[in-house]
Structures are given as structure tokens and as C-alpha cells.
Amino acid sequence: MNTPIDLRGTYGWRMSRHARTNAAERGVAARDVLETIADPEIHHTAYNYGPGREMYKRGELAVVGIPDAKVIVTVLWNTETEWTSEEFRHHLETKCSA
């Protein structure tokens, strides 16, 4: 996520405690979460996370939020396989050092 993204569309959004914990466990910066909401590559409903939820995907991140309440519910990785937080952090470190 190297290109500057206008975050004005994310004013008022806040991260739930669960989302902050997920982001911290995965080594994801709050700015990356907001960039995913502001400029998603893929955006769709996420009713399996509850009513009114939407999924925002950008690069390796997937963020579930409630747009009406401007609350970020959870921060996930955008992958078809399941990784532990440690494996994901290692993947990011390897990718960034390449």
C-alpha cells in the first residue's frame, strides 16, 4: 500500500476493541485499515458477520465494518488459506524486505 490514499472518507470511523486487537496481532497499522475502507479493491456485503456489515478488501487486508455506524468490526487477511497471526506477520516482513 504505497500510493497515497485520501482518507477524508474515513473521518468518523472508529475501530472496535476486537478490530484493534486483530490489527495488533497481525501487525497491521491503523492507517492500512483506513486505506482499505477508503479505497477498497473489492467491496461487498458481509451478512455472515452480522446485519449491516460490509467487507472491504485491499491487497492482503480484509476489513469488516458497519458503514451506518462507522465502526470497524474486525481486521482479517484477504486470503483463501488460514494463517496464524505469526505466519501472516512473517509473510509481510518477507514481502517488505524483498
**What's the average pLDDT block by block, 10 residues per block, for the chain (98 residues)?**
78 95 94 95 92 94 96 89 66 68
For residue 1, being part of any structural domain is answered with no
d(CA 27, CA 67): 24
Residue 75: the pLDDT is 96
pTM of the model: 0.76
Residue 75 lies in a domain: yes
Q: How many domains does the chain have?
A: 1
Find all residues with CB under 8 Å of 83, minimum gap 6, and list them: 77, 91
> Is 14 a domain residue?
yes
Q: What is the pLDDT of residue 25?
A: 93
Do 14 and 71 form a contact (C-beta atoms < 8 A)? Answer: yes
In angstroms, the CA 85 to CA 41 distance is: 23
Residue 32 lies in a domain: yes
Whole domain around residue 17: which residue ranges? 8-97
Q: Could you tell me which of 69, 70, 65 has the C-alpha nearest to residue 50?
A: 65
CATH number at residue 76: 3.30.2310
In a domain, 2, yes or no: no
